A and B are shown apart, each in its own frame.
Chain A
Amino acid sequence: MRQSPEYDAIVVGSGAGGGIAAFILATSGLRVLLLEAGRHYDPLRETPMFQLPKDAPLRGAGGSDKPFGFYDATVDGGWQVPGEPYSVADGSEFMWWRSRMLGGRTNHWGRISLRMGEYDFKPRSRDGLGFDWPMSYDDLAPYYDKTELLIGVYGSNEGLENTPNSSPGVLQPPPKPRGYELLTRKACRRMGIPVIPAHLAIMTQTQDPERLPGDLFPDNELARRVTADSMRGRAACYWATPCGRGCSIRANFQSTTVLLPPALATGNLDIRTDAMVREVTVDAQGRATGVHYIDRTTLLDEFAGARVVVLAASACESARILLNSTSGLFPDGLANSSGLVGRYLMDTVGAGVYSHIPALQALPPHNEDGSSAMHMYMPWWLYGEQLAGRLDFPRGYHIEFGGGRRMPGFGAFGGLEPLTGGTYGQQFKDDCRRYYGSFLFFDGRGEMIPNEDCYCEIDPDKVDRYGIPVLKFHWKWADHELNQALHMQRTFAEIVDEMGGQLLSTVASSGADAISKGGQIIHEVGGAMMGDNPRTSVLNQYCQSWDVPNLFVTDGAPFVSNADKNPTLSIMAIAWRASDYIVEQLGQRSIG
């Protein structure tokens, strides 16, 4: 006789995908256990909001311990996690960013929240490359609306090609543009490049706790109640303090400020931190029964059982858990009858330039902090050119740009010599004053096409400090990406030129010199792709394993393509849709 497990569902990982799963399952009345490898983390008590660089070691500089700066909301993470190595195959370059804290990387992510468009779900049908998704934009659109409403996203509806509008009333008003954003827009207009309000998971106004919960959960009283309470406890952005440190007033999206508090308030959720999952267990019928995890504080192996297991440990880590879950029934790892677990890993194509724009020099002092993030960006605009065959790469990129009068930190006015000829003394002081605020960067974020050479597998020779076999990464950009990276840099050089500025970085002569390393843009997705055929995919469109029906993966692993749109909003929308499906299936007792 099978004993009834303590929990309906175990969710592994508390970031974007796990946060949504825990929230939807718990508010739907299921008993949920959330297992998180990192430590407990409370943004309301821990976020260094107004702390100055001057008060931090080395003026807040990044280093190997805290690569994105001392105050970055990353705990025990970065390109390396202490005691948790990974391998990279000879000839490959891959960088894997992780953190070990409740809420995962949602505590410090960039909050850029762009929807994938209708083309992005059917890329193969359009240009014959990569794969089509087993769902369409219309399938996901309602979940994009719900996700944006719940978390709070500013932006505007511009009706541009493959850049979807949100439903009326969903987006919050975008902030006013900064001076340098308007100046860039003016130059780009002359070049035919659209510059429009960016979409960021930052609240420019408080949420209406009377209306929104009802719109989100018309049939669920519990969900309405905890969501309304949560919304009442969130302030609007007050236009100061960098979002990358986290937000103690809950104005931007973090799993720890937006999803986990209302999920806990249901009373249906238990969270166990310091719980490093290593394996999903199965019964004789091949159904998932629970997970084994290492308690990081005792180093003892523990077991937790549930009717359904949801992996959301981040794309590569979920692939790792599946590949490490070997058994007599599943000798090649769980959910891996297709042999595709770990395959078709993708990141975003990145390339950029720095520039000096004399028109921005010596402006009257004014406060440009704003939302600390982009107020404007450029969506991909050359669909027509591409269709006409005038570009030597197949997919698009958007442009992220910034600079201006930011708070001086480590590196302030370093490397000015090419402009100043090495001044010092009074002249140097005057130079810094004049140049302050006149530097802009432009970064392209482009679509990579999945390929056979980009994957992860278990390294048979190495284990981490918990004795768990680690991942080995393989990576190779194709010409699609290399050509795109070159196009980015050349385009940015033209924009800078049009603005009357000068480049301070070089435009590479080859794509290989222009492009970021695999994983470096930290949009790694894929590794357990969804599809409509069990032989050619790992999951169905509800993130459900074809092989093990009570096993789901709701992070970036199910991604089939990686549009230029930063992935996290899509991860959450897809996770929400999958979670609704889990609730429905458990209700019908067709799984678990």
Chain B
Amino acid sequence: MSEERGRRGKALGTDPGPGPAPESAPAPREPDGTITRRGALKVIAAGAALGATVPGCSPGESGGGAAGADAAHTELSGFNPLPPSNPLAAGTPTDPDMLAPIVPWEMVLTDEEMHYVAALADVIIPADDRSPAASAVGVPDYVNEFVSAPAHTEQLTQLRGGLAWLNRTARDRFGAADFPALTTAQQHEICDEIRFEPDAADHLKPQARFFDAFRDMCSTGFWTTEEGMRDLGYMGNVPLPSFDGPPPEVLEQLGLAGEDLV
């Protein structure tokens, strides 16, 4: 992502970039009444909140987010934690409650489809000694959320077509009931044919594109979980009293030992 957030396409590895939009219905919510957006306000009343040196919400409430961050936030900044939801937000797609986000559309995948999704997700991201498998941290639910978004009907069709092909191939080639019923080696044999579009046979190109899209979904779904971030060694999103630059072992590995840090 650009320093000036988001003026570019997909950024590898990090940060949300511009992506497809859910053209979802608004999720209306009641204004809490303390400050209403109705009426052409003289925000003099609101000025009490705006002008206050410390936000007027009760301590101890959690704004969600990283565990432990709230305490450090308060200690380092002198500000109270944020309230658990935002009374000022309209709750529409262009003004959602960012403190208490909701997914405002219905999930469309069936139990059977979720079973297939979980199996393939675990082929792509299996458990190892550093982190669990995709299905253990909710990746199938994320896949469901993604393909169920009203703007993603094409992705839903692609997913269903891909799952159907996997099951059909499992039956034709190995006589199995479906893809999840295969051994890992058998699953790999099938996936190897569609793992990379340039290498895939011409008649399998659409399946390779499905596999690519599915891997992207798994990757986003997995690495954004706490388990995924911990696995990567992402150590941020924690308030710190100072920023000290890279530690010596990092400078060492970069060939920058002794480099001027100013």
A residues touching B (Cβ–Cβ < 8 Å)?
A: 39-42, 44-72, 75-78, 82, 102, 108-110, 112, 156, 174-179, 182-183, 186, 197, 229, 232-233, 235, 238-242, 244-245, 248-249, 251, 256, 260-262, 264-265, 270-275, 295, 297-298, 302, 350, 352, 354, 356, 359-360, 363-371, 373-374, 377, 400-417, 421-426, 428-429, 432-433, 435-439, 441, 443, 504, 516, 520-522, 566
Whether A364 lies near B94 (C-beta < 8 A) is no
B residues touching A (Cβ–Cβ < 8 Å)?
A: 1-8, 10-24, 35, 37-44, 46-47, 49-55, 57, 63-66, 69-70, 72-73, 76-79, 82-83, 86-90, 92-96, 98-99, 101-104, 123-126, 128, 130-131, 142, 145-146, 149, 151, 188, 191, 195-197, 199, 208, 211-212, 215-216, 219-221, 223-226, 228-229, 231-247, 249-251, 253-256, 259, 261-262
Candidates A179, A366, A428, A441; contact of B8 at CB < 8 Å: A441
Whether A408 lies near B195 (C-beta < 8 A) is no
What's the Cα separation between A112 and B253 when bound, in Å? Answer: 30
Whether A412 lies near B14 (C-beta < 8 A) is yes
A60 and chain B: residue at smallest CB distance: B16
Across-interface contacts of A251 in B (CB, < 8 A): 77
Whether A407 lies near B14 (C-beta < 8 A) is yes
What's the Cα separation between A53 and B123 when bound, in Å? Answer: 24
- Closest Cβ–Cβ distance, residue A515 to chain B (whole Å): 13
Whether A504 lies near B188 (C-beta < 8 A) is no
- Closest Cβ–Cβ distance, residue A155 to chain B (whole Å): 12
Candidates B23, B66, B228, B247; contact of A408 at CB < 8 Å: B228
Across-interface contacts of A110 in B (CB, < 8 A): 2-5
B239 and chain A: residue at smallest CB distance: A238
What's the Cα separation between A46 and B85 when bound, in Å? Answer: 8
A82-B94, A426-B126 are known contacts. Are A57 and B245 too (CB-CB below 8 A)? Answer: no
Whether B240 lies near A240 (C-beta < 8 A) is yes
Across-interface contacts of B102 in A (CB, < 8 A): 57
- Closest Cβ–Cβ distance, residue A401 to chain B (whole Å): 8
- Closest Cβ–Cβ distance, residue B202 to chain A (whole Å): 16
A71-B98, A273-B43 are known contacts. Are A53 and B16 too (CB-CB below 8 A)? Answer: yes
Candidates A45, A77, A238, A435; contact of B77 at CB < 8 Å: A238
A48-B99, A423-B195 are known contacts. Are A67 and B223 too (CB-CB below 8 A)? Answer: no
Whether A51 lies near B98 (C-beta < 8 A) is yes
What's the Cα separation between A409 and B253 when bound, in Å? Answer: 27
A439 and chain B: residue at smallest CB distance: B12
- Closest Cβ–Cβ distance, residue B195 to chain A (whole Å): 4
B219 and chain A: residue at smallest CB distance: A413
Candidates A241, A425, A435; contact of B237 at CB < 8 Å: A241
Across-interface contacts of A58 in B (CB, < 8 A): 19-20, 22, 145-146, 149
* Closest 7 pairs (CB-CB, A-B): A63-B21, A422-B196, A50-B65, A365-B233, A233-B53, A110-B4, A176-B245
A409-B15, A439-B13 are known contacts. Are A264 and B47 too (CB-CB below 8 A)? Answer: yes
- Closest Cβ–Cβ distance, residue A50 to chain B (whole Å): 3
- Closest Cβ–Cβ distance, residue A293 to chain B (whole Å): 9
Whether B245 lies near A414 (C-beta < 8 A) is no
What's the Cα separation between A304 and B86 when bound, in Å? Answer: 31
What's the Cα separation between A592 and B206 when bound, in Å? Answer: 70
- Closest Cβ–Cβ distance, residue B226 to chain A (whole Å): 8
Q: What are 9 A-B residue pairs whose CB atoms fall within 8 Å in the complex?
A: A58-B20, A59-B221, A68-B6, A364-B250, A400-B4, A408-B232, A416-B12, A417-B196, A422-B215
Across-interface contacts of B3 in A (CB, < 8 A): 110, 112, 373-374, 377, 400-402, 443
A110 and chain B: residue at smallest CB distance: B4
A50-B64, A412-B224 are known contacts. Are A249 and B79 too (CB-CB below 8 A)? Answer: yes
- Closest Cβ–Cβ distance, residue A504 to chain B (whole Å): 7
Whether B259 lies near A65 (C-beta < 8 A) is no
What's the Cα separation between A417 and B43 when bound, in Å? Answer: 53
Candidates B16, B199, B215, B254; contact of A182 at CB < 8 Å: B254
Chain B CB within 10 Å — which of A238, A264, A273, A298 has the most?
A238
Whether A368 lies near B259 (C-beta < 8 A) is no
B20 and chain A: residue at smallest CB distance: A63
A50-B69, A272-B40, A364-B253 are known contacts. Are A425 and B123 too (CB-CB below 8 A)? Answer: yes
- Closest Cβ–Cβ distance, residue A228 to chain B (whole Å): 11
Whether A413 lies near B12 (C-beta < 8 A) is yes
Candidates A47, A271, A424, A426; contact of B128 at CB < 8 Å: A426
Candidates A244, A298, A401, A504; contact of B5 at CB < 8 Å: A244
Chain B CB within 10 Å — which of A42, A183, A410 has the most?
A410
What's the Cα separation between A412 and B17 when bound, in Å? Answer: 9
Whether A406 lies near B14 (C-beta < 8 A) is yes
A57-B96, A59-B221 known, 4 other contacts, Cβ within 8 Å: A52-B224, A112-B4, A239-B243, A429-B131
Whether A51 lies near B77 (C-beta < 8 A) is no
Whether A297 lies near B236 (C-beta < 8 A) is no
Across-interface contacts of A429 in B (CB, < 8 A): 125-126, 128, 130-131, 231
Candidates B42, B94, B151, B228; contact of A75 at CB < 8 Å: B94
Whether A69 lies near B16 (C-beta < 8 A) is yes
Whether A41 lies near B7 (C-beta < 8 A) is no
Chain A CB within 10 Å — which of B11, B44, B125 has the most?
B11
B70 and chain A: residue at smallest CB distance: A50
